[in-house]
């Protein structure tokens, strides 16, 4: 019996997440992979692992991409839909938690907050400038303190006391942590203080002026940190739910949106299959001096031909591409 499968890919700055769902949105396959500074080769490997895992009776009917690298990933795999992170995360969360009203999302390099009412996003805010509280910052502190990141949350919860850490900036936070170590505070106390500081910074920056009401859903790679979850609950005075697929919700949302797109349009998927793994794929950029905007234009070559250009405000370059 043939089973329809829909693929979702979330390409971020730190990880590439790939999932496969069926018509009932049941997750059949899930993978979380570090980009290790090579997003294209990492994506090809992750996609190859997925395709080799597909049962002979599974048939790919649709594919969607999201994340900061969604455009490049969409070109490589032949995506049917390419959606922003806000839409993808909200779609997945509403599917599994239809009563959600506030979503906390913290990834490898950025963080965001989504406000939903009646399963619709009514407001959101993103922080892509400061890395304080993101996964990459916590990874760095894990290495500096010589504590595996997997133990960070448990160690924070083990602290009987806490210490106040300046969390508004990565530089200030790290300097304050070093100072507190010199004062004799334990690593557990410092990590707990760091978790509390990062949550305060998150709420003050992204939640300021917004009505935060339960149910609260916490997702993204940092949601695995029990210390951050506990700090959120202490800060807002309410339970915070970490969903089962907390670290791949963006990919799930992309897959759901692809399934809905195929169902609504009746189109056949553009998924390139194994051809995506064999393609030569290279992005370059140049500065356009055609006007005062001086845009940086990204040019994407696939198999020795230009398949996409973007970044120009006027459309001079992006509108010039016709892909057969």
Output the pLDDT for position 131: 61
Please tell me the distance from the alpha carbon of residue 133 to that of residue 203, in angstroms, as a whole number. Answer: 11
Output the pLDDT for position 88: 96
Output the pLDDT for position 217: 98
Across the range 223-249, mean pLDDT stands at 94
Output the pLDDT for position 114: 96
Please tell me the distance from the alpha carbon of residue 315 to that of residue 313, in angstroms, as a whole number. Answer: 6
Please tell me the distance from the alpha carbon of residue 255 to that of residue 245, in angstroms, as a whole number. Answer: 14
State the pTM of this model: 0.86
Instruction: Give the residue among 60, 9, 55 at the shortest CA–CA distance from 32.
Output: 9
For 66, half-sphere exposure in the C-beta direction (CA atoms, 13 angstrom radius) is 27
Kindly report the number of other CB atoms within 10 A of residue 173's CB atom: 22
Instruction: Give the residue among 232, 227, 196, 187 at the shortest CA–CA distance from 214.
Output: 232
Where is pLDDT greater, at 170 or 93? Answer: 93
End-to-end CA distance of the chain: 34
Please tell me the distance from the alpha carbon of residue 225 to that of residue 239, in angstroms, as a whole number. Answer: 15
Across the range 278-296, mean pLDDT stands at 85
Given a cut of 70, whether residue 133 has pLDDT beyond it is no
Q: What are phi and psi of 291, to 5 degrees?
A: -155, -175
Across the range 8-22, mean pLDDT stands at 91
Please tell me the distance from the alpha carbon of residue 97 to that of residue 32, in angstroms, as a whole number. Answer: 22
The 8-class DSSP code of residue 267 comes to P
Q: Are 292 and 48 spatial neighbours (Cβ–Cβ below 8 Å)?
A: no
Output the pLDDT for position 132: 61
Q: What are phi and psi of 262, to 5 degrees?
A: -65, -40
Give the 3-state secondary structure of 71-132.
HHHHHHHCCCEECCHHHHHHHHHHHHCCCCCEEEEECCCCEEEEEEECCEEEEEEEECCCCC
Given a cut of 70, whether residue 92 has pLDDT beyond it is yes
Order of strands across the sheet that contains 305-310: 281-287, 296-302, 305-310
Question: 171 by DSSP, 3-state: which?
Answer: helix
Residue with tokens 């990492």: 42
Domains in the chain, CATH or no CATH each: 3-90+250-278 (3.30.420.40), 98-242 (3.30.420.40), 281-320 (no CATH)
Output the pLDDT for position 169: 66
Q: Are 259 and 5 spatial neighbours (Cβ–Cβ below 8 Å)?
A: no
Given a cut of 90, whether residue 181 has pLDDT beyond it is no
The residue count of the chain comes to 324
Confidence of residue 324 (pLDDT cuts 50, 70, 90): very low
């Amino acid at each position: 019996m043939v089973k329809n499968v829909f693929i979702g890919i979330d390409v971020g700055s730190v990880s590439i997440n790939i999932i496969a769902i069926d018509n009932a949105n049941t997750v059949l396959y899930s993978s979380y992979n570090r980009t290790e500074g090579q997003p294209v080769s990492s994506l090809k490997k992750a996609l190859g692992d997925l395709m080799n895992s597909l049962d002979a009776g599974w048939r790919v009917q649709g594919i969607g991409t999201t994340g900061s690298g969604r455009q490049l990933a969409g070109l490589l795999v032949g995506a049917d839909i390419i959606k922003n992170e806000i839409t993808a995360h909200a779609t997945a969360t509403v599917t599994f938690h239809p009563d959600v009203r506030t979503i906390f999302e913290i990834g490898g390099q950025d963080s965001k907050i989504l406000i939903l009412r009646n399963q619709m996003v009514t407001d959101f805010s993103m922080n892509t400038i400061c890395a304080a509280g993101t996964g990459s910052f916590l990874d760095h502190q894990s290495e500096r303190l010589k504590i595996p990141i997997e133990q960070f949350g448990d160690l924070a919860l083990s602290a009987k006391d806490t210490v106040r850490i300046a969390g508004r900036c990565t530089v200030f936070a790290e300097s304050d942590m070093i100072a507190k170590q010199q004062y004799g505070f334990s690593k557990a106390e410092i990590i707990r203080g760091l978790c509390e500081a990062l949550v305060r910074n998150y709420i003050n920056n992204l939640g300021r002026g917004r009505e935060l009401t339960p149910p609260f859903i916490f997702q993204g790679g940092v949601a695995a940190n029990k210390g951050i979850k506990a700090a959120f609950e202490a800060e807002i005075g309410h339970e915070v739910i970490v969903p089962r697929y907390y670290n791949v919700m963006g990919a799930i949302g992309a897959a759901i949106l692809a399934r809905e797109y195929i169902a609504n349009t009746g189109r056949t998927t553009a998924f390139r299959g194994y051809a995506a793994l064999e393609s030569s794929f290279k992005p370059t950029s140049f500065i356009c001096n055609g006007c005062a905007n001086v845009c940086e234009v990204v040019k994407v070559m696939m198999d020795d031909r230009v398949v996409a250009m973007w970044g120009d405000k006027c459309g001079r370059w992006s509108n010039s591409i016709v892909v057969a």
